[in-house]
Structure 1
Amino acid sequence: MCGLKPLVLAGGLVVGFSGAALAADLLPPPPPLAPPVPIEVSGWYLRGDIGFSNQDVDKLDNALYGNGLVQNLNKGFDSAPFIGVGVGYKFNNWIRADVTGEYRGKSSFTGLDRYADSFLPTGWGTDSYTATKSEWTTLANVYFDLGTWNGVTPFVGAGIGMSRNTISDFTDTNVVTAALAYGREHSQWEFAWALYAGLAYQVTPNFTVELAYRYLDLGEAQSGDLIGYNGGNGSYNPMKFKDLTSQDIKIGMRWLLGPAVASAPEPYPPLVRSY
């Protein structure tokens, strides 16, 4: 009898382990790992921008152009820096809007006209121009974020607003006739609109940097009345700059005011044990 006790005990252990193994086999597989928690950033934000402009003017115009044939041979602006600030609101991960104010620094202008003149030996005279242009521009913008990959979000946008365009230091030099005229500084408000395309990178849930291209239509501008070197002028004839545009490259920074909101993951169904 004593020899049977170890055998009975071993048999009980085998049966116990077999029952435990069978119960383990009846348990459902463990749930998958929890998905990453998406960050939904929304609310008010501040922004700052710096960049450089590449400006253009479609044509020049002057009251005296009607007196003869005039050809614009050259009319170009140098690149110039600009800086801006703004405040906006991000409605969700797809749509945001802001209002911006921007100072666009002085850009140097050079131009050259050729006009018909039968009294000159060649039959043509020339006028060369110099000036500077600057703007104060304010825009209301809306942007559409197109999804995020590895923290990078491409976006497009559009804006409308007003621009105070200033022409200063305007001079008109005619070497052939030894004539010189100048125009005083002149500013005017014009309707402005913009189109955007760029990439944003979310450094932290509250801080984002942008690299963007902008096409900006600034309307028109003009100099003051052109006065001759002798102080006289036969008519009111400021130089007009028609259809001013700029293709800008800019770097922007956005600071979210307040904490980012994280959405909670879906709860797992309760674990049901089978026996």
Structure 2
Amino acid sequence: MKTLLLTTVAAIGAWSSLVTGANAADIIEEPIYVAPPPPPPPVQTSGWYLRGDVGYNFKSKSDGHYDFYNVGFGNNGIDNTEHYDSITLKNSANFGVGVGYRVNGYFRTDLTVDYFRTGVEGSSKCGYLVEIGYLLDPVNNNCRYNDSSHASVWTTMANAYVDIGTYGRITPYIGAGLGFAHVKYDDMDNEISCGGGSCNGFPVYKGSHPGESSWRFASSLMAGASIDITHQLKFDAGYKYTRIAEGDAYGYDKADSAAGASGVQGKDHGFDIHTVRAGLRYEFGGSGIGKGKEPAPLYTAQDTVYAEPAPVYK
């Protein structure tokens, strides 16, 4: 009886060990998948911007020519064509506005309208017909034409820029533009004198010529840098070179017109405008301006996040 009891207890112990071992083997540590946080909603941005600039045009040189009218001589009274020794554009202020579009982080375009008003002065040696009329020595004399006027210049330009890169808040750029200029002269005052006084006893001649206006081709080159004041507001400073093609300057005075002269008498040979300017550019849409919708982040298998595994009992 005692032997049977011990045998039974041993069997129960062995069975309990097998059951306990089986339950321990059934423990499975499975990871619990935790989804990554949803991406932020796309940022709607616009590539459009507005700009306004003020600038300073440096004094510059040009040249030009004019027809000498002598009734009854030459071709329809044009007896000779004289050339200016120099035409000077005085320094002046420049004002501009524009609207543009940023294509991406490196390329943008805009359409600008600029205006400046400048003094224009021309000087040339008197033509030989004037020298003869004043009974001057055709070789040694100081007879000169001195002309003065003002010109109002509007330019309309289509421009393209390349932003070279951003260094902190500073983005240097280069650009170029093509367009048109409208140049309108005031009446031109003309004086003929010899050393500032009379020529061989003849009184100093003073006359007035009506100003002319014309549309002309224009081109420009720019270089500068913008500084981020905010994500949307930029301070822009740089240099601009503008070439304006030749065009009409003034017509004939009253005496020549009464004698039959008509049309344009004087023309300039174009302007080279050197400008330093500064202004503000406001880009709509904040950060990421002009780059379209911000792309949603891409998640890969390496980005999958798992929680700390916990035992699961079955």
TM bin (shorter chain): 0.7 to 0.9
Which of 107, 114, 125 aligns to 2:125? It is 114
- TM-score normalised by L of structure 2: 0.66
- Alpha-carbon distance in 2 for matches of 1:269, 1:212: 46
> 3-state DSSP class of the match of 1:147?
coil
Please tell me the residue identity of whatever aligns with 2:55: G
- Alpha-carbon distance in 1 for matches of 2:86, 2:218: 25
Which of 177, 181, 198 aligns to 1:159? It is 177
Which of 57, 63, 68 aligns to 1:64? It is 68
Please tell me the residue identity of whatever aligns with 2:143: G
RMSD, aligned α-carbons: 3.0
Aligned residue in 2 for 1:48: 52
2:104 matched to 1:100? no
- Alpha-carbon distance in 2 for matches of 1:223, 1:147: 43
- Alpha-carbon distance in 2 for matches of 1:184, 1:171: 9
1:235-256 deviations in whole A, cap 9, x for unaligned?
3452211121201111121111
The verdict on how the C-alpha distance between 1:75 and 1:58 changes in structure 2, with shifts beyond 3 A counting, is closer
Which stretch shows the higher mean deviation, 138-147 or 177-186?
177-186
The verdict on how the C-alpha distance between 1:60 and 1:53 changes in structure 2, with shifts beyond 3 A counting, is same
- Alpha-carbon distance in 2 for matches of 1:251, 1:210: 6
Which of 221, 225, 246 aligns to 1:195? It is 221
- Alpha-carbon distance in 2 for matches of 1:82, 1:159: 17
Which structure is higher in strand share? 1
2:230 matched to 1:240? no
Contact 2:67 2:80 in 1 (8 A): no
- Alpha-carbon distance in 2 for matches of 1:83, 1:138: 12
Aligned residue in 1 for 2:96: 84
Query: How big is the shift at 1:103?
Result: 1.7
2:148 matched to 1:137? no
Aligned residue in 1 for 2:283: 256
1:146-180 deviations in whole A, cap 9, x for unaligned?
00112111100011111110111311101235322
- Alpha-carbon distance in 1 for matches of 2:52, 2:58: 20
Query: How big is the shift at 1:232?
Result: 3.7
1:195-215 deviations in whole A, cap 9, x for unaligned?
111111111110111111111
Which runs of structure 1 show a deviation greater than 6 angstroms over 4 or more consecutive aligned residues?
Answer: 262-268, 271-275
1:80-109 deviations in whole A, cap 9, x for unaligned?
1121111110011100001111221x2112
Structure 1: gaps spanning 5 or more residues: 1-38
Aligned residue in 1 for 2:303: 269
> 3-state DSSP class of the match of 2:265?
coil
Please tell me the residue identity of whatever aligns with 1:199: A
The verdict on how the C-alpha distance between 1:269 and 1:256 changes in structure 2, with shifts beyond 3 A counting, is same
Query: How big is the shift at 1:68?
Result: 5.9
> 3-state DSSP class of the match of 1:258?
coil
2:201 matched to 1:147? no
The verdict on how the C-alpha distance between 1:147 and 1:137 changes in structure 2, with shifts beyond 3 A counting, is same
> 3-state DSSP class of the match of 2:175?
strand
Contact 2:46 2:284 in 1 (8 A): no
Please tell me the residue identity of whatever aligns with 1:96: R
- Alpha-carbon distance in 1 for matches of 2:281, 2:271: 29
- Alpha-carbon distance in 1 for matches of 2:229, 2:297: 23
- TM-score normalised by L of structure 1: 0.75
Which of 237, 247, 251 aligns to 1:225? It is 251
- Alpha-carbon distance in 2 for matches of 1:164, 1:84: 15
- Alpha-carbon distance in 2 for matches of 1:45, 1:165: 28
The verdict on how the C-alpha distance between 1:143 and 1:73 changes in structure 2, with shifts beyond 3 A counting, is same
Contact 1:48 1:84 in 2 (8 A): yes
Percent same amino acid among aligned pairs? 25
> 3-state DSSP class of the match of 1:204?
coil
